[in-house]
Amino acid sequence: MKTYCIPFLSFFLLVLFAHDLSAQKNIYRIGFYNVENLFDLEDTPDKIDDYFTPEGKNKWTQERYDKKVGDLTKVLKAMGSPALIGLCEVETLSVCEDMAAHENLSSGNYGVVHFESPDARGIDNALMYQKDLFKVSKAENIVINFPAEIVEDYTTRDILYVNGLFKNKEIHIFVNHWPSRRGGLEESQPKRVYVASQLRKKVDEILNKNKKARIIIMGDFNDEPDNDSLTKALNASSNYADGKKTQLINCMSSLDQAGKGTYNYRGNWNMLDQFVASPCMIKRGGFKYKGAQIFREDWMVYKSEKYGETPNRTYGGPNYYGGISDHFPIYFEFKAK
């Protein structure tokens, strides 16, 4: 009996494994990651980036840069090498291309969409995409020009807009990094509300042409799902109960309500990184929505005696910790019919 038991068990496991692979067929992920200051090593004259150079106060060396690119791509590979990856806090096109070419991701055959934005530090948004799955039709940057009554002499990141075909189905993608909470939540909130209103205008343009448009909005919003910028200015709800085709759905609300988050501020979890989608990206339109999640593994976590578990960051001020990022990434999972 023993001579037949092991082969039979191996055969059973092989069949089970094959069935599991079959069940995963045509399931794809869209990722988003705030990569925490992924700068190149050059001092660009019109950017406040001199501290991220080998001679700068952060001592940003080639060795540290290579380690960070390796760590970030290790995370994305562990996430399943998403078909589409939104990025924020990248300085240049070249740093995105370095990620795409790294051995951890090179098999994904990624292309990159990136525009330089007027952010004072020079950090931008970008989209990496698997060229075998997604074909770019149009890409543009939505420039944010604040009116004087909100703020004067202030620049922020552009919103990246990419339109294309995912397996021959049209998708509209927005990658965001809204103004920070520096100066306090209430004082800084009008800036994020204004950015949300500009994004909503673009969303309405799309929905007015096609109410069944597939729209996926991702980003570090520097606000929670229940803040005014998302619930009022962007009109994003936790569900699609009212039946309005203009209502957007915040895919991270339930996780936020469960006390989870992507960023830890002094021991408190904040759900700053989110996916917001149009009804046809969730309910219908050729895709079957499987859910959205925060991606974290033990090796991405730092255990602080004061604040508990936090994302293992690269820097704290000028202090180099050697971690990956101060945010956890998120992913949106769907099945393409």
Q: Has residue 12 got a pLDDT over 90?
A: no
Higher-confidence residue of 281 and 245: namely: 281
Q: Has residue 24 got a pLDDT over 70?
A: no
What digits encode the pLDDT tens for the residues 143-155? Answer: 999 999 999 989 9
- Buried/exposed code over 170-196 (b: 16+ C-beta within 10 A; e: otherwise): ebbbbbbbbbebeeeeeebbbbbbbbb
When the pLDDT of each residue in the chain is averaged and rounded to a whole number, the result is: 91
Higher-confidence residue of 287 and 222: namely: 222
Q: Has residue 317 got a pLDDT over 60?
A: yes
**Confidence at 240, pLDDT banded by 50, 70, 90:** low
Boundaries of every domain in the chain: 26-336
**Confidence at 244, pLDDT banded by 50, 70, 90:** low
Higher-confidence residue of 318 and 244: namely: 318
Q: Has residue 242 got a pLDDT over 50?
A: no
With vertex at residue 308, the alpha carbon angle to CA 306 and CA 312, rounded to the nearest 5 degrees, is: 105
- The predicted structure's pLDDT at residue 247: 80
Q: Has residue 318 got a pLDDT over 90?
A: yes
What digits encode the pLDDT tens for the residues 250-282? Answer: 999 999 999 999 999 999 999 999 999 999 898
- The predicted structure's pLDDT at residue 150: 95
**Confidence at 9, pLDDT banded by 50, 70, 90:** very low
Rounded CA gap, 257 and 294, in Å? 14
- The predicted structure's pLDDT at residue 11: 42
Q: Has residue 3 got a pLDDT over 50?
A: no
Predicted TM-score of the model (pTM): 0.91
What digits encode the pLDDT tens for the residues 93-121? Answer: 999 999 999 999 999 999 999 999 999 99
Looking at the chain, list the stretches that DSSP marks H as alpha helix, in order from N- to C-terminal side: 2-23, 62-78, 93-101, 185-209, 228, 253-257, 279-282
Contact call for residues 178 and 195 (beta carbons, < 8 A): yes
- The predicted structure's pLDDT at residue 283: 78
- The predicted structure's pLDDT at residue 168: 92
- The predicted structure's pLDDT at residue 22: 36
Mean pLDDT, range 37-44, rounded to an integer: 96
Q: What percent of the chain has pLDDT over 70?
A: 90
Tell the burial category of 26 from Cβ atoms under 10 Å away from its Cβ (0-12, 13-18, 19+). exposed
**Confidence at 165, pLDDT banded by 50, 70, 90:** very high
What is the fold, at CATH topology level, of the domain defined by 26-336? Deoxyribonuclease I; Chain A (3.60.10)
- The predicted structure's pLDDT at residue 245: 53
What digits encode the pLDDT tens for the residues 194-209? Answer: 999 999 999 999 999 9
Q: Which amino acid is at 36?
A: E
